[in-house]
Structures are given as structure tokens and as C-alpha cells.
């Protein structure tokens, strides 16, 4: 697994002249560029595809008025997504009316991609995630998934950064993470029906799985990941008494939206579980939201002494 984080961006720019430069920029700056037909833009934005930003062109619409209306509509549907507009002459937002200007976070011109790089760094890759943490999370989660669903093959996509607040699937679990270097939540999200299909396969015919078993399974997976995370990265470190701030969590099921009270991007992992016999698949999204405290300079991976683990019975000599 690569430890270089990526982020998906939606490119709404039909310029043939600048297409290659934008593609090269995305490739060089760990951005996965996605395109969509204009007539499918709104359905895509209303779906639960998770994004880091939108690269927009001032000529995307057929007229300046249509261009402004599209940008404002996007901002209304997905206000958490930074919209970065490519201007033809000068990298400014000052000449837009106030109601239009609010839709954009920044502007750039194709002749100065360094300015775009700075915006990407500010809005997407603004938090430092230690490689040991990213690698450790994936190792912990894959081990837990294998222990709970050993008959399935686990594959992991490249970890990525999102600014979206969309909810995936019908089932999610939340568990707080608290230490001297972080405070926030781990969230797991999945769809109910694919898991039910797999549980039916492995359940006796007279004991069909139901949604409670899905809830129980996701809860157990969440608890096991949390326990291993605590053992590997937190130990017995207590949260300092001065940091006990709380913020409200807001969930809107109708719009598949969840907010943790922060604008910080989130660290996301996507796991695909496959039944080799039937081809059935389960998708599991894992997000880490450090909304209350994030001090990566204080992060340490706990090194456990093998001798002590042998003495405690957790390890055995081969």
C-alpha cells in the first residue's frame, strides 16, 4: 500500500487548450481528477460521491450568467466543497458580485499553477497525517476484517482526503478517539443489503440474518479496531484536562449529511470485501475526523516489548 494520500477532485473545465496542463497538475499533486457530462452534473453532486474540491472554469457555462448560476447551485448543494475557479486573465474574485463570489474559495490562471498548488495545500492537504498512522490504521483494520470475515478477500484503495460530509449507505458507527495528540472520531459506513446477503449465505436456513446482526457485526468491528488503535497509538495516555471541549454533531438523513463541527478535511479509507465463491461484495468506508484536537507533532507509535508480551501470554514462542 502506498502511504501517499490522494484526494478526488471534480474538474468542470472543458478547455482543450488547458486540459493537459490540468491533468499533469493533478497527477503531480496527488489529485484524482474526475469529469462528468454537464447534463449529469447535478445528479452526481446529489449522490454520495466523496470529493476534496472542484476545479471550475469561468467558461464552463454558455454565458457568464449561466456560469454564475451553476457555481451558486453547486455551492448550495455541497457548501463544504471548495470551488476553485480558473480565470482567463487575472486570478481574482473581486470582479464578481458578492452573491457569486461567496461560491468560490479562490481563483487561479493557467499560467500560474503554483498559485493553484497553494490553494490545494490550504484547503485539502492542510493536515499532516504521519505515515506510521496511515499505514497502521490500514493494517489494524485489515486484520480485524480478516478475523471477523475470514471467508472474504479484503482489498484497500489508496487512502485519501475528503472535505465532503456525505453519508454512505444506511448503517454507520461512531466511536470517539481521545489522546494527548488527537481528539475526534472514527466512523465506519456501509450498506445493509450486501452484508445481509453475505450473512444469509453463512447462516442456517432457519436463522436468517436481519438488520440487528448487521448492526452487531459493524459494532464488533468498530470496537476491535478501536481497541487495536488505542493499544498501538494511544496506550494509557490521558487527554489533558484543559482540552475537554465538545461540539455538536449534526446528522441529516434526508440529505445523507453529517457534520462534526469543523471544516478540517477527513482521512478516509475504502475497503472492498469480496466473496470469491459468489462474487458478492461489501464496501466499507472508514473515516477519521480529528475535530477537537490534532497535534501530529506529538504522535508516537507505541513499541511493545516482545518479552513482556510473551510473559503476559499474548505471544507464544514458536
For residue range 203-244, list pLDDT tens digits in order. Answer: 555 456 688 888 999 999 999 999 999 999 987 666 554 556
Report pLDDT for 318: 39
**With 50 as the cut, is the pLDDT of residue 7 above it?**
yes
93 and 21, same domain (yes or no): yes
Partners of residue 269 on adjacent β-strands: 286
**With 50 as the cut, is the pLDDT of residue 144 above it?**
yes
As for how many domains the chain has, the answer is 2
**With 70 as the cut, is the pLDDT of residue 285 above it?**
yes
Report pLDDT for 198: 80
281 and 136, same domain (yes or no): yes
Report pLDDT for 315: 43
The predicted model gives 175-201 an average pLDDT of 89
* Residue 292: domain span: 131-312
For every residue of 42-110, DSSP letters joined together read HHHHTTT---SEEEEETTSSSSHHHHHHHHHHHHHH-TTS-EEEEESS---STTS-HHHHTT-SEEEET
94 falls within a domain: yes
For residue range 147-178, list pLDDT tens digits in order. Answer: 998 788 999 988 999 988 888 888 999 999 99
301 and 176, same domain (yes or no): yes
Question: For helices 131-148 and 211-229, what crossing angle results, to 10°?
Answer: 140
Other Cβ atoms within 10 Å of 300 Cβ, number: 14
Report pLDDT for 119: 95
**With 70 as the cut, is the pLDDT of residue 305 above it?**
no
Report pLDDT for 240: 56
117 and 137, same domain (yes or no): no
108 and 46, same domain (yes or no): yes
14 falls within a domain: yes
Least confident of 63-77, 146-160, 193-207, 292-306: 193-207
Kindly indicate the confidence band of residue 263, based on its pLDDT and cuts at 50, 70 and 90: confident
Report pLDDT for 79: 86
**With 80 as the cut, is the pLDDT of residue 266 above it?**
yes
**With 50 as the cut, is the pLDDT of residue 309 above it?**
no
Report pLDDT for 301: 87
107 and 138, same domain (yes or no): no
317 falls within a domain: no
Please say whether the beta carbons of 289 and 187 come within 8 A.
Answer: yes
Amino acid at each position: 500500500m502506498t502511504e501517499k494520500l490522494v484526494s478526488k477532485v471534480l474538474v468542470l473545465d472543458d478547455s482543450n487548450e488547458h486540459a493537459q496542463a490540468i491533468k499533469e497538475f493533478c497527477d503531480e499533486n496527488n489529485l484524482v481528477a474526475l469529469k462528468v457530462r454537464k447534463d449529469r452534473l447535478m445528479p452526481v453532486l446529489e449522490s454520495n460521491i466523496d470529493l476534496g474540491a472542484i476545479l471550475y472554469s469561468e467558461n464552463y457555462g454558455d454565458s457568464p450568467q449561466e456560469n454564475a448560476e451553476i457555481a451558486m447551485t453547486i455551492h448550495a448543494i455541497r457548501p463544504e466543497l471548495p470551488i476553485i475557479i480558473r480565470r482567463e486573465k487575472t486570478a481574482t474574485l473581486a470582479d464578481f458580485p458578492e452573491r457569486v463570489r461567496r461560491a468560490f474559495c479562490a481563483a487561479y490562471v493557467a499560467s500560474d499553477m503554483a498559485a493553484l498548488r497553494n490553494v490545494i495545500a490550504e484547503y485539502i492537504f492542510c493536515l499532516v497525517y504521519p505515515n506510521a498512522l496511515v499505514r497502521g490504521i490500514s493494517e489494524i483494520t485489515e486484520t480485524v476484517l480478516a478475523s471477523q470475515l475470514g471467508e472474504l478477500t479484503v482489498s484497500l484503495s489508496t487512502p485519501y482526503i475528503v472535505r465532503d460530509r456525505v453519508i454512505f449507505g444506511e448503517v454507520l458507527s461512531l466511536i470517539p478517539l481521545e489522546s494527548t495528540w488527537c481528539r475526534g472520531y472514527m466512523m465506519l459506513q456501509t450498506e445493509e443489503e450486501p452484508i445481509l446477503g453475505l450473512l444469509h449465505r453463512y447462516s442456517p436456513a432457519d436463522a436468517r440474518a436481519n438488520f440487528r446482526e448487521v448492526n452487531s457485526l459493524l459494532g464488533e468491528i468498530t470496537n476491535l479496531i478501536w481497541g487495536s488503535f488505542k493499544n498501538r497509538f494511544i496506550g494509557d495516555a490521558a487527554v489533558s484536562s484543559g482540552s475537554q471541549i465538545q461540539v455538536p454533531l449534526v446528522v441529516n438523513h434526508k440529505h445523507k449529511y453529517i457534520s462534526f463541527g469543523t471544516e478540517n478535511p477527513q482521512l478516509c479509507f475504502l475497503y472492498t470485501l469480496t466473496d470469491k465463491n459468489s462474487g458478492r461484495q461489501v464496501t466499507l468506508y472508514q473515516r477519521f475526523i480529528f475535530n477537537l484536537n490534532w497535534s501530529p507533532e506529538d504522535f508516537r507509535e507505541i513499541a511493545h516489548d516482545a518479552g513482556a508480551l510473551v510473559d503476559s501470554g499474548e505471544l507464544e514462542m514458536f
